[in-house]
Amino acid sequence: MKQTTLLWLRLDLRLADHPALAAAVKRGGPVVPVFIWSPEEDGDWPPGGASMWWLHHSLTALDKSLWQLGSRLVIRCGPALETLRVLVQETGATAVFWNRRYEPAVMERDREVQEALVRDGLGAESFNAALLHEPWMIQNQRGKPFQVFTPYWKHCLAKPAPAEPLPAPKILPAPPRWPKSLALGELELEPKLHWADGLGAAWQPGEAGATANLGRFLTTAFDDYTDHRNRPDVVGTSRLSPYLHFGEISPRQVWHGLRRLASKRCLPVEQWRGSQFLAEIGWREFAHHLLFHFPHTPTEPLRADFKKFVWNQDAAWLHAWQQGRTGFPIVDAGMRELWTTGWMHNRVRMIVASFLVKDLLLPWQEGARWFWNTLVDADLAQNTLGWQWSAGCGADAAPYFRVFNPTSQGEKFDPHGDYVRKWCPELGKLSDKWLHRPHAAPAASMRAAGVELGHNYPHPVVSHAFAREMALESYARIKGSAAGNCPSTLSMRVMMPRASPSD
């Protein structure tokens, strides 16, 4: 008699290149796909609002795909181990397969689940479906984890190429009787208020959307990626981050999709393997490498000396940043794009993060929490690495003296103002010359454009020039403290002046 397998689905919501699914099918018996909603088992980082919206629609798409294979998705809610044991009793399953996750709390939960299922006499096996390389398999010459990206990725590229992606099954054997399932709506993942309408207009969650986005990028944007990847005013990036996070596409599929394109165009191997785009896949791998080896970093700086940093605690400034009302157009445009679409261009993420931690001297943890709740691609590893990089307190961090000037960044990467005009329409009639610095524009230009600072667009909350000096002084004191100079404490509760035309 063929034995039933429970397929425990998590952040692997696809059918192609799905190692746990392939292993379950290989056993030859019925396969019962199950999703268990247990956010409390994610520790301090249960899914945020935007992530839950995406999850709802991704599960909808997956269930539709499963029906086409003669299967269906069983949805349950509750503690994972208890729920799996109930399903084992209901289905007669003799094994539970799943793909690994790498967040610290989830890894600990999965270890306990696996040990308990084995004690129950069940087969319990996990697989790697989310990364090119397991975090514990990559070490430097001293047997330690890497803390700088370039040597890390060089080391990864020297390893054998990842295996070809696994094909999706053409049919899934069904059990004689399906266990009961909750309706997806009972999980209440979608918001009760209609703030998510912009997310629906911007995205197509699910495996089909992921495949379409990869194809669109490779055929229309890859050739210009190096030139356009920093331009938020053009569609020059892959926009694959949420699909990778939810496992609707795998990094192996991305790798081999790029390889096939290169082969078709007769590109040298070193050209596509050394491409900036593939390095972004490497950055994602690096983020998971760091989170695995330094599990405290979602809330604490990797560099211990930064625990002494005295951050500002101004709630009004934080609110202005969150709402896109700082008076710096590129910052405000980015924060409004985030709120509307659940996503933000990577260059703009760096600009708004630098503004929060360097101009406003607000804690990077506040920014990480806001991104966690509002990004559809909120990923604990990448969110942590990105914010610690911006704050200068993590691995491979930006130099502490790097303070992005939001005005010059806007002028450089949104030169014609298309991005700012889209998300800050009240500035739309300003000329390119003044669009990124409305506080410096002549009164006549402001009147002609219908812009009145303090009325329909805010005054800058700080002077960037003054804020930069404050940041440099504060960071220098941390550096001095690390060297044993023991400086006196600098109070960061200082109201900085607004920007002047010379900033």
Work out the average pLDDT over 454-476.
Answer: 94
Least confident of 7-11, 318-322, 402-406, 458-462: 402-406
Do residues 390 and 354 touch, judged by C-beta distance below 8 A? yes
What band does 183 get if pLDDT is binned at 50, 70 and 90?
A: very high
Do residues 309 and 480 touch, judged by C-beta distance below 8 A? no
Percent of the chain with pLDDT over 70: 94
Q: Is the pLDDT of residue 498 over 60?
A: no
Do residues 319 and 313 touch, judged by C-beta distance below 8 A? no
Residue 152 has a pLDDT of 97
Choose which CATH entry (3.30.1330.80, 2.40.50.140, 3.40.50.620, 3.40.47.10) describes domain 5-127.
3.40.50.620
Do residues 326 and 354 touch, judged by C-beta distance below 8 A? no
Based on its alpha-carbon atoms, the radius of gyration of the chain, rounded to whole angstroms, reads 24
* 82-95 per-position pLDDT tens digit: 999 999 999 999 99
| Residues acting as catalytic residues | 280, 283, 311, 346, 364, 387
Work out the average pLDDT over 104-131.
Answer: 98
* 353-403 per-position pLDDT tens digit: 999 999 999 999 999 999 999 999 999 999 999 999 999 999 876 676 789
Choose which CATH entry (3.40.50.300, 1.20.1440.230, 1.25.40.80, 3.30.365.10) describes domain 131-165+206-293.
1.25.40.80
Q: How far is CA 181 from CA 42, 86, 339, in A?
A: 22, 12, 33
Least confident of 62-66, 72-76, 126-130, 307-311: 307-311
Helix H segments across 120-195? 149-157
Supply 472's token pair.
């440099």
Q: Is the pLDDT of residue 483 over 80?
A: no
CA atoms of 304 and 294, how far apart (whole Å): 12
Question: C-alpha dihedral over 99, 104, 105, 106, to 10 degrees?
Answer: 0
Supply 447's token pair.
């009147």
Work out the average pLDDT over 187-215.
Answer: 94
Kindly provide the b/e burial profile for residues 43-55, where b requires at least 16 CB atoms within 10 angstroms of the residue's own CB: eebebbbbbbbbb
Residue 480 has a pLDDT of 67
Q: Give the mean pLDDT of the chain.
A: 93
What band does 1 get if pLDDT is binned at 50, 70 and 90?
A: low
Work out the average pLDDT over 174-194.
Answer: 94
CA atoms of 346 and 99, how far apart (whole Å): 28
The CATH superfamily of 304-482 is DNA Cyclobutane Dipyrimidine Photolyase, subunit A, domain 3 (1.10.579.10)
Q: Which amino acid is at 449?
A: A
Q: What are phi and psi of 144, to 5 degrees?
A: -110, 160
Percent of the chain with pLDDT over 90: 90
Residue 398 has a pLDDT of 67
Kindly provide the b/e burial profile for residues 174-194, where b requires at least 16 CB atoms within 10 angstroms of the residue's own CB: bbeeebeeeebeebebbeeee
**Coil, helix or strand at residue 206:** coil
Do residues 165 and 60 touch, judged by C-beta distance below 8 A? no
What band does 489 get if pLDDT is binned at 50, 70 and 90?
A: very low
What band does 331 get if pLDDT is binned at 50, 70 and 90?
A: very high
What band does 491 get if pLDDT is binned at 50, 70 and 90?
A: very low
CA atoms of 101 and 80, how far apart (whole Å): 14
What band does 182 get if pLDDT is binned at 50, 70 and 90?
A: very high
Residue 401 has a pLDDT of 74
**Coil, helix or strand at residue 214:** helix
What single-letter DSSP state applies at residue 315? H
Q: Is the pLDDT of residue 302 over 90?
A: yes
* 446-456 per-position pLDDT tens digit: 999 999 999 99
Cα–Cα nearest to 49, from 368, 342, 344: 342
Domain boundaries of the chain, sorted by first residue: 5-127, 131-165+206-293, 304-482
**Coil, helix or strand at residue 285:** helix
